[in-house]
Amino acid sequence: MFVFDTIVHRLKRGCETMAYPKGPAPALPDRHGGALKVDAAKCAEGCNDCVPVCPTQAITRPPGKPVALDLGRCIFCAACVEVCPQGAITQTGDHRMAVRRREDLVLGESGKEQIRLAAALDEKLRKLFGRSLRLRQVSAGGCGACEADTNVLGTIGWDLSRFGIQFVASPRHADGLLITGCVSRNMELALRKTYDAVPTPKIVIAVGACAIAGGPFVGHPQILNGASSVVPVDLFVPGCPPHPLTILDGLLRLLGRLEKI
Amino acid sequence: MMNPSLEFALLANATSILWADVPAWPAAEFVRATATELNRGARLCAWFGVPEGSGTCLVAVLAFDADNTLAVGRSAPFTGSYPSLTVTHPQAHLFEREVWEQHGLTPEGHPWLKPVRRSNGNAPANGEFFRVEGGEVHEVAVGPVHAGIIEPGHFRFQCAGEEVLHLEIALGYQHRGVEEALTSGPHRATMSQMETVAGDTTIAHATAHATVMEALAGTEAPLRAQWLRAIALELERLANHTGDMGALAGDVAFLPTSSACGKIRGDFLNLTALICGNRFGRGLVRPGGCRHDLEPARAAQLIERLKTALADTEQAVAWFWDAASVRARFENVGIVFPAQAAEIGLVGPAARACGLVRDVRYDHPAGWHRFAQAPVAVWPSGDVFARARVRSLEIQRSGEYLREQLVAPADGDMRSELAPPAPETFAVALVEGWRGEVCHVALTDAAGRFRRYKIIDPSFHNWIGMTLALRGTAISDFPICNKSFSLSYCGFDL
């Protein structure tokens, strides 16, 4: 009976994998806010209100220059959005945030109000990885949240393996690394060894504010302020942690899997 | 001779005391006094150093669970060595290693004095590992980078064939300097650092920190905020317990529960995101209250979605308990005996699975738990089965608690202005996170800034429990033992 019951329950539930990316993306929680947009032209002369409220020092405004918000450092607390008297910093509700170049996360000046989203890998790498990408995950000073929201992509709701993307148990089996955490000094050697053990050509994906720039721990002497200090990074996915949808978007964008749909 | 007139100062959870009112003994007498209290049934919540002049004071925070009270005492500042408390009370073993590492005070007679998380260039200074000698004995080394999406740590097994004779765990890989950075704080980044001490325990750590700040300000958060914190805490428990039930099912190849729970865990995380926008509860708890409200319409939506998620969980977990093949894999595997559990100071579900009735929400209620409590879930057998059973019971009870509390909100504000922290004051906050007791202790200086801030994640108490559970167990059972404890690396490494 037991086996029969289990099968019946399973049939009743049906397919629980989301339609995205063929169908619409699931909605972000309304209080999430999504990516930020910074229109520095709106800033009042000499206004610095957003700078001191940012917990990760992601916002700077050197004298005489427009305000600059580094979304790589941002933990999306929206304290700056609340405090800005001019409405220069706004939430877009957009889950898409992954970029290929670190500087594409710096928002503010004219023409750079929003994130410059990631381009796909070049033709050669796309041919290699586009339909089959094996990643080794390294947590290096991560708090477990980026790890958890990466892990969730493997569950039935997201079913990452339908895109040919899988996490593997050895760097020798991998095409690249997915790194989380601010890269503690105590993980430097292990991260370097893992990277060296991945056969070339290989790619590196940095997930979360910590892996991009140190996150809430930026500047601590015990950390190296992100993955770029140890290995070259090919994709940056901002957030604290990034929503699973943001991570998935980044992976598919990198593989050039979004424009085909 | 011990001064008979001196006694530990008593205080309740989430309150403060003047540093000057914390009694001070000479070091050796302080260790004896602490041992006396531990013999009387106290439990060591915290043991750490506070630099003073050219020396260091040892500080002990004890919990008398049956009396619902905490006790605090300290030594006069000293340098050099002191008689180890670990010799008679093993629950102090890691605390003494930590004090030795941080302040150079040597516990004379400590059986296994080695680094906890100190750096040796680009890796932790692990020190020598315990080794078993013999022709049939072999050693298995695992990590720091593990085979899944999981945090780093190094495991060293001493095995005879399949049987594990001894396991030693070396951590420190995740050390981010959390405590060091709190000196002279709170700083701009402090709140977000508290939310990421252990990312899956954001609400518990954030609540402990906020409570410490409120105790130092001589006030508490508005009731409505305390209500919302209690709700967020149970959602956090539900998400993690459900996820781990799924993972346990996965480790014994019982896929229906594994698949279902993986998804339902996300449903619970999404309920936290409904409250504050972040699936882990970041940006919700702040000193003085909460940053978001749970308005009636939002609460109604939460109740509706919670109902579905709880029903799904109940079904998925029932499949699992109904299967004899699952029960047989969990019974008598990875046993920690009740006497061992008490001796090493286990906390949380791991302790309750050894029959110890030990739950901060019940023993040391603060915040909303003074008004509304759930029954403590206990199971006596100390094995993987018991730990899974306790967590399964806690899923039911957290669900019940939420159903009751969500319809009975407190009115009023969500946030109040907080006075600056009082100078030279000592505050303690305990919160029952999903893994167990989260303890934050703060001591302020003359200007009201942090002179010392100590964080004890439940994993700090419990990792040793996992090593004991592995003794005599087949090494192939390591995954289910590990998952049944499900401990934090970063919460330990700080």
For residues A130-140, give the mean pLDDT.
Answer: 95
Q: Do B174 and A186 touch (CB under 8 A)?
A: yes
Question: Could you give the angle at the alpha carbon of A234 between the alpha carbons of A228 and A236, nearest 5°?
Answer: 70
Q: Is A182 on the interface with B (CB under 8 A)?
A: yes
User: What is the pLDDT at residue B281?
Assistant: 96
Question: Which residues of chain B does A10 touch, with a Cβ-Cβ cutoff of 8 Å?
Answer: 256
Inter-chain CB proximity B279 and A150 less than 8 Å: no
Peptide bond into B23 cis (omega under 30): no
Residue B1 pLDDT > 50: no
- Could you tell me which residue, B341 or A9, shows the higher pLDDT? B341
Determine, for residues A30 and B277 on separate chains, whether the beta-carbon distance falls below 8 Å.
Answer: yes
Lowest mean pLDDT among A132-136, B62-66, B122-126: B122-126
Check pLDDT > 90 for residue B434: yes
DSSP letter string, chain A: -HHHHHHHHHHHH------TTTSPPPPPPTTT--SEEE-GGGPPTT--THHHH-TT--EE--TTS--EEETTT-----HHHHH-SS--EEE-------BSSGGGGEE-STT-SS--PPPPPPHHHHHHHTT-EEEEEEESS--SHHHHHHHGGGSTTT-GGGGTEEE-S-GGG-SEEEEES--BGGGHHHHHHHHHHSPSS-EEEEESHHHHH-GGGTT-TTB-SSGGGTS--SEEE-SSSPPHHHHHHHHHHHTT-STT-
CB < 8 Å to A33, chain B: 277
Contact predicate A205/A221, CB 8 Å: no
Chain A residues lying within 8 Å of B181, measured CB to CB = 217, 220
State the residue for tokens 């346990």. B248
Contact flag B152-A241 (C-beta cutoff 8 Å) = no
Segment B68-107, tens digit of pLDDT: 999 999 999 999 999 999 999 999 999 999 999 999 999 9
Q: What does the DSSP 8-state code read for residue B377? A: P
Which architecture does CATH list for B9-108?
2-Layer Sandwich (3.30)
Q: Which of B151, B177, B319 sits opposite A6 (nearest CB)?
A: B319
- Contact yes or no for B225/B247 (Cβ under 8 A): no
Q: What CATH architecture does domain B178-493 belong to?
A: Orthogonal Bundle (1.10)
Boundaries of every domain in chain B:
9-108, 178-493
What pLDDT is attached to residue B2? 47
* Model pLDDT, residue A4: 82
Question: Distance between CA atoms of B46 and B430, rounded to whole angstroms?
Answer: 11
Nearest CA in chain A to B283: A77
Return the structure tokens found at B379.
């199971």
Residue from the list B175, B265, B315 with its beta carbon closest to the beta carbon of A186: B175
Whether A29 sits inside 8 A of B322 (CB atoms) is no
Q: For residue B122, what pLDDT is reported? A: 93
DSSP 8-state class, residue B443: E
pLDDT in tens, A25-57: 999 999 999 999 999 888 888 889 999 999 999
Element (H, E) at B425: strand B425-433
CA B393/CA B177 separation, integer angstroms: 36
Tokens of B24: 């001070």
pLDDT score for B89: 96
- Say yes or no to pLDDT of A1 above 70: no
According to the model, what pLDDT value does residue A113 have? Answer: 87
Closest Cα to residue B60, out of B50, B73, B70, B49? B73
- pLDDT tens, A218-240? 999 999 999 999 999 999 999 99
Closest of B207, B208, B182, B204 to residue B193, by C-alpha: B182
A–B CB contacts, 8 A cutoff, strictly below? 197
Note the pLDDT tens digit of each residue in B106-165: 999 999 999 999 999 899 998 899 999 988 899 999 989 998 899 999 999 999 999 999
Predicted structure pTM score: 0.96
In chain B, residues with a C-beta closer than 8 Å to the C-beta of A177 are none
pLDDT in tens, B271-304: 999 999 999 999 999 999 999 999 999 999 999 9
How far off is chain A from B480, nearest CA to CA, in Å?
A: 18
**Mean pLDDT score, A91-100:** 94
Q: How far is B89 from chain A (nearest CA, A)?
A: 31
State the pLDDT at residue A14.
85
Quick check: helix, strand or coil at residue B466? helix
> Which residue among A5, A33, A190 sits closest to B277, beta carbon to beta carbon?
A33
| CA dist list (Å): B430 to B40, B204, B489 | 21, 9, 20
Q: With contact defined as beta carbons under 8 Å apart, do A244 and A155 qualify?
A: no
Report the topology of domain A36-107: Alpha-Beta Plaits (3.30.70)
Domain boundary assignment for chain A: 36-107, 123-254
Task: Please indicate if any CB of chain B lies within 8 Å of the CB of A16.
Answer: yes
Task: Report which of residues B432 and A66 the model is more confident about.
Answer: B432
pLDDT at B392 over 60: yes
Cβ contact A222–B144 (<8 Å): no
- What is the percent of chain B with per-residue pLDDT over 70, rounded to a whole number? 99
Min CA distance, A123 vs chain B (Å)?
29
Query: Which of A2, A9, A182 lies closest to B176 in CB terms?
Result: A182
Measured distance CA(B494)–CA(B492) in Å, rounded? 6
**Looking at chain B, which residue has its C-alpha nearest residue A58?**
B189
The residue of chain A with its CA nearest to that of B120 is A186
A28-87 residues touching B, CB cutoff 8 A: 29-33, 52, 54-57, 75-78
**Chain A hits for B188, Cβ within 8 Å:** 52, 54-55, 57
φ, ψ dihedrals at B429, nearest 5°: -135, 130
pLDDT tens digits for range A143-155: 999 999 999 999 9
Mean pLDDT of chain A: 92
What is the assigned CATH class of domain A123-254?
alpha beta
Cβ distance A54 to B263 less than 8 Å, yes or no, reads no
d(CA B419, CA B216): 9
Give the Cα separation of B280 and A242 in Å (integer). 11
Q: Decide if pLDDT at A162 tops 80.
A: yes
**Among chain B residues, CA nearest to A138:** B145
Q: What is the pLDDT of residue A260?
A: 54
Tell me what ipTM this predicted complex has. Answer: 0.94
Angstroms from B127 CA to nearest CA on chain A: 14
